[in-house]
Amino acid sequence: MGDLPGLGPLLGRAVGAAPQALDAVLDRAVLPGFTRVGLGVRRRLPGWPADPSPGALDGHAVAVTGASSGLGRRTVLDLAALGARVHLVVRDVAKGDRVAEEVRAAAGREDAARVWRCDVADLDSVRAFAEAFLDDGGPLRGLVHNAGALPPRRTASPQGHELTAALHVLGPVLMTESLLPSLSTGAGRVVLVSSGGMYTQRLPVEDPEYSQGPYSGSVAYARSKRGQVELLPRLARRWGGHGVSVHATHPGWARTPGLDDSLPGFSRALRPVLRTDAEGADTTVWLLAADPPPGSGRFWHDRRPRPTAVVPGTDPTEADRARYWRWAADAVGLTP
C-alpha cells in the first residue's frame, strides 16, 4: 500500500518504541488502528508475520459465505490466488456466478470456483446446503463465515429468530457443525469475520433475540458480533476434538458496498482512511494459509490476537458465556 496522510509522523514517533506497545496503542486508539493508517504502521513494525508463500493453498478448498460482494468477493479472489479452489456460498446465485467467473479468469483455472446457494440466516437452507455439500463438495481446508447484514429494523428469520443473531451466530454454528465431516479430513480452519463494533456491546444474555426495547440495527449487529467472539473458547473445544480450529477476526474499517449502504455517513466521513477490500480481508486469508497454523479460539486483527473486551463492563462472566451458548445450541438443535 502507498503512503498515507499522517503515516510518516506516526512512524517517526514509533522510533525507539517497543513494537508491541505501539501496536497496543493503535488498537486502543481505534481511529488510527482500525484504518489504513494502523495497518500501514503495523506492516512496518518488527515481527509482522510473513505473508503466505505462493501456492500455499494448492490442492486445498475453502468455502466462503457472502462471497458475491465486498470482503467476501475479495477473500475468494485472494484465496484462489494462493492456489485454493473456492466455494462461493451465496443467496444470489447470479451475483455469485459473476464473481466465480472473475475468480476463474484471475486464477487461470476453470475449476477455481464453484457456486452454492444458501441463505445463512435460514437454518433450513443451511441444512440443505450442508447436505448437498457433503454429497458432492469434497474435503475443506477452511470455512469462512463472512455473510453479514445490518438491518434498519427488527427482522425475523424464517425460523423466527432476530436476523443478525440468526445470520452471524446461529447459521454459522449450524453450518460448521454440519460440515465437520468435510472439515475434519484435513485439519480444517474456521474463520468468523466479526467486527470491531462488538467492543461497544455486552453479551446479550438476557435478550439474545433483541425482542425488548427500541431496536437499533447497529446495536443488534454489534451484539451478534460480540456473541461470535464470546463463543470462541467453547467452539474451539467442541470442534477441536474433530481436528478443526476456529478463529474470529475483525477487518477494521474497510470500504465495502455493505458499509456504504448501511452507514453512509460514516463511510463518507472516513473515506480517505478506510481500508481497501484487500486490506480488510488480509487477516482472514492469512489465518487460512499461515504455516504453522495459528492457535485456535482467539480473536484476531491485523495478524495478531487481540483482547476481547476493552470497554469497562463489557467482559462477560463464564456463566454468561455458558448461558449464551445454551441459547445458541438449543436454537439450532445441538446438545450443549
Counting Cβ atoms within 10 Å, is residue 80 exposed (0-12), middle (13-18) or buried (19+)? buried
As a three-state string, the secondary structure of 38-93 is: HHHHHHCCCCCCCCCCCCCCCCCEEEEECCCCHHHHHHHHHHHHCCCEEEEEECCH
Grid coordinates representing 118?
Answer: 444458501
Residue whose C-alpha cell is 505462493 = 54
Catalytic option among 199, 210, 215, 221: 221
Q: How many angstroms separate the most distant Cα atoms in the chain? A: 57
Catalytic: 199?
no
Q: How far apart are CA 145 and CA 192, in angstroms?
A: 5
Residue whose C-alpha cell is 446446503 = 129
How many of the other CB atoms lie within 10 Å of CB of 178? 18
Burial per residue of 37-69, b for 16 or more beta-carbon CB atoms within 10 angstroms, e otherwise: bbbbbbeebeeeeeebeeebbeebbbbbbbbbb
SS3 label, residue 269:
helix
Active site residues: 221
